[in-house]
Amino acid sequence: MLRCSFVLLLGIILLSGCDQKRVPVSLDRKNVDLVKQGELVYNANCARCHGANLAGQPNWRARKPDGKLPAPPHDASGHTWHHPNAVLLSIVRDGLVPPNAPEGYQSDMPAFKKTLTEAQIVAVLSFIQSRWPDDIWQYRTENRI
């Protein structure tokens, strides 16, 4: 009974966001126009922390004095490419909160759901993915990421 109540509550929470228009998850690293749009949005909203060349902040694996991690790179040297598209969309839209991070996780990564449209988030991620080399795409394909 408790499990059914939890599932029902989760469904209500998920459906409560349905009044917002969502575009299908259709990242496309080969769509030149989408990638160009994503680069503009990235430069305006993401490059300040993640770098104009997707290199992230220095020492991104070492915690800062406040306990937070620096912004990671989004190029092949980082871990962004390890995540499925749905997770990447959720992190950009909702920030590093559960289920994208452990409860209470502290991060400087903002949620962009009030700043960017879903289409802009798709464009940004398409831009980022357009910079990943073929070996990453082979890995993602082989591992169904």
What is the predicted pLDDT for the residue at 21? 44
Amino acid occupying residue 108:
D
Is residue 113's pLDDT more than 60? Answer: yes
Please, which pLDDT band fits residue 82 given cuts at 50, 70 and 90?
very high
Please, which pLDDT band fits residue 65 given cuts at 50, 70 and 90?
very high
| pLDDT tens for each residue of 85-98 | 999 999 999 999 99
Tokens read off for 112 = 């962009």
Mean pLDDT of all residues in 124-139: 98
Spell out the SS3 assignment of the chain: CHHHHHHHHHHHHHHHHHHCCCCCCCCCCCCHHHHHHHHHHHHHHCHHHHCCCCCCCCCCCCCCCCCCCCCCCCCCCCCHHHCCHHHHHHHHHHCCCCCCCCCCCCCCCCCCCCCCCHHHHHHHHHHHHHCCCHHHHHHHHHCCC
| pLDDT tens for each residue of 1-60 | 444 333 333 333 333 343 344 445 689 999 999 999 999 999 999 999 999 999 999 999
What is the predicted pLDDT for the residue at 25? 62
